[in-house]
Amino acid sequence: MDSVNDFLVEVGGVVWGPYLLIPLLLGTGLVLTIRLKGIQFRKLWPALRLGLITRHDEGATEGDISQYQALTTALAATVGVGNIAGVGTAIYFGGPGALFWMWVTGLVGMASKYSEAFLGVKYRTTDAKGEQSGGPQYYLARAIPNKAGLVLSLLFAVFAVLASFGIGNMTQANTVATQLDGTFGVPTWLSGIVMTVLAAAVLLGGIKSIGRVTAGFVPAMILLYVGAGIIVLAVNFTQIPDAFALIFTDAFTGTAATGGFIGSVFMIALRYGVARGIFSNESGMGSAAIAAAAAQTTHPVRQGLVSMTQTFIDTIIVVTFTGLVIVTTGAWESGEQGAAMTSAGFADGLGGDWGHWIVAISVVFFAFSTILGWSYYGERCVERLVGRRGVVPYRAIFVIVVFIGATTQLEVVWNFSDVMNGLMALPNLIGLLVLSGLIARETKAYLDRDPYLLNGPVATDDPDVVK
């Protein structure tokens, strides 16, 4: 097992190294930001209004769940362990400067998230059961009309299925079980059984059941966590300016929390910031496009804008609160790693056991919601590879793996997850670059005739404009 783990570490170092995924991830986001004229900045408020206030796209006739439910399903999959343990891990190895690169990844990633959701809706199809199917496993093949597109789409589907058992299942279940055991003394086997039963109950209902559940508790779990973060920052408000200065300075010098050589160079802060950033918000990975494809929307642009807000909420809001709590309280120098570092920050800020309890409860909700979201991503990719006949067996195996993840040591699985995340992102990022011109043209054409997205309802006779 040690040799397998060493091999995965080596592969992960190449995939997430300075010559492959990091420049491709940031470069793709930057290219799309330029070609879309900074859509994540100039259309952020209309996008938030459309997703969080309007919630339903009036006049939509296709889709399985509302725009809001598609957003919360994607948020369920992304607001997870990466927002708690991932930030702590990034700062442990890369220092406070890693948070800066998580922000950069999120900001340019918003353009990537918009683009993949746009393509997910534009090229979605209907499966044998009448449900919507879409995502890179479809749009790469349908939008790139040659064998290259087909190969990219199949590679994405295979890597996404494998990743669903890692990032979307075992690592999440293990983090929940470990946290509950350490905080409340709950045996890992008991946590595993409860999560397995609850996951099975929700997953049997498919995307409509997942959408209803996530629409209910995803906003509540984010508000609980962010609310606790606000209290901690209010207590330590005098440290906030120094925290920002440290984050921006260390982004280019790289001082690891361990104080050792491992974080003494700029590339360590960059690598861990980008790697944990994509682990947290999944921008560029293509996964959120699968949820977007199930949305009831009148145009791909509208759902692309709604999906774009997911990265903003995940990284610019939730990750920022985690990082600032860790830095302002000095927890980044505590010697703790991952979720333990975040827990130490909240415990210092809130006093007593409250901090540990808040983080433990947040981990449970964040991680379990990720399991639900990723189960849908995995089953849609299984459906792409083998058809509807593979969906039920996949769900059964997925549920069983929840228990295995909760009761097993997972260093190998964490490294495996890092590799699979990178490998599933590669074909999608290549496809986004190839299709960037199409995305930019169609986005401009639609926005030019839909002033609602900027100024509110307008009088128009254009049937393609939803008032």
Give mean pLDDT, residues 110-120. 95
Which of 7-11, 124-128, 399-403, 408-412 bottoms out in mean pLDDT, i.e. has the lowest?
408-412
- How far, in Å, CA of 359 to CA of 318, rounded? 13
Q: Structure tokens of 148?
A: 């290259």
462: pLDDT strictly greater than 50: no
Of residues 321 and 417, the one with the higher pLDDT is 321
At 460 the pLDDT is 41
**Rounded CA gap, 432 and 35, in Å?**
12
Which pLDDT value is given to residue 58? 65
Write down the pLDDT at residue 465. 44
pLDDT at 443: 95
User: How many structural domains are present in the chain?
Assistant: 1
Going from the C-alpha of 220 to that of each of 39, 121, 173, 215, 226, the distances in angstroms are 28, 28, 20, 9, 10
More confident residue, 461 or 21: 21
Integer Cα distance of 19 and 382 in angstroms: 31
Lowest mean pLDDT among 217-231, 332-346, 394-408, 441-455: 441-455
- What does the pLDDT look like over 126-178, one tens digit per residue? 888 888 889 999 999 999 988 999 999 999 999 999 999 988 899 889 888 98
pLDDT, tens only, 314-354:
889 999 999 999 999 999 988 888 888 998 999 998 877 88
Please report where in the chains the tokens 């890693």 appear, as a residue: 98
The pTM assigned to this predicted structure is: 0.88
Q: What is the pLDDT of residue 127?
A: 83
Q: Taking Cα atoms as reference points, which of 215, 172, 202 lies closest to residue 405?
A: 172
Evaluate whether residue 457 is within a structural domain: no
pLDDT of residue 101: 86
Q: Give the closest residue to 391 by CA, choosing from 176, 127, 193.
A: 127
Q: What is the pLDDT of residue 22?
A: 81
**How far apart (Å, rounded) are the C-alpha atoms in residues 42 and 60?**
25
Mean pLDDT, the chain, rounded, equals: 85
Cβ neighbours of residue 205 under 8 Å, at least 6 residues apart? none
Residue 413: give the domain boundaries: 7-449
Residue 427 lies in a domain: yes
Query: For every residue of 383-416, which 3-state class applies, written as one string?
Result: HHHHCHHHHHHHHHHHHHHHHHHHCCCCHHHHHH
The model's pLDDT over 205-242, given as tens digits with 9 standing for 90+, comes to 777 788 888 777 788 888 889 999 999 999 999 999 99
For the ranges 51-55, 202-206, 260-264, 321-325, the one whose mean pLDDT is highest: 321-325
Least reliable range by pLDDT among 3-17, 72-86, 110-124, 188-202: 72-86
The C-alpha angle with vertex 107 and arms to 106 and 113, in degrees rounded to 5, equals: 70
Residue 2 counted as domain residue? no
Would you place residue 61 in the very low, low, confident or very high pLDDT band (cuts 50, 70, 90)?
low
Residue 17 pLDDT greater than 80, yes or no: no
Where residue 57 falls among pLDDT bands split at 50, 70, 90?
low
* Residue 429 reports pLDDT greater than 60: yes
Residue 415 lies in a domain: yes
* 173 falls within a domain: yes
218 close to 78: Cβ distance less than 8 angstroms: no
**Residue 424 placed within a domain:** yes
Task: Judge whether 458 lies within some domain.
Answer: no
Summarize pLDDT for 242-253 with one digit per residue, the tens.
999 999 988 887
Summarised one tens digit per residue, pLDDT across range 263-302 is 445 666 776 677 667 666 778 888 889 988 988 888 899 9
Structure tokens at 62: 């296709």
CATH of the domain at 188: 1.20.1740.10
Q: Is the pLDDT of residue 56 over 50?
A: yes
The confidence score (pLDDT) of residue 466 equals 43
Please check whether residue 440 lies inside any domain of the structure. Answer: yes
Are β-strands 125-126 and 132-133 bridged in parallel, bridged antiparallel, or unpaired? antiparallel
pLDDT confidence band for 1 (50 / 70 / 90): low
Max Cα distance, the chain (Å): 66
Q: What single-letter amino acid sits at 275?
A: A
**Model confidence at 16: pLDDT above 80:** no
Residue type (1 letter), 220? A
Between 60 and 220, the higher pLDDT residue: 220
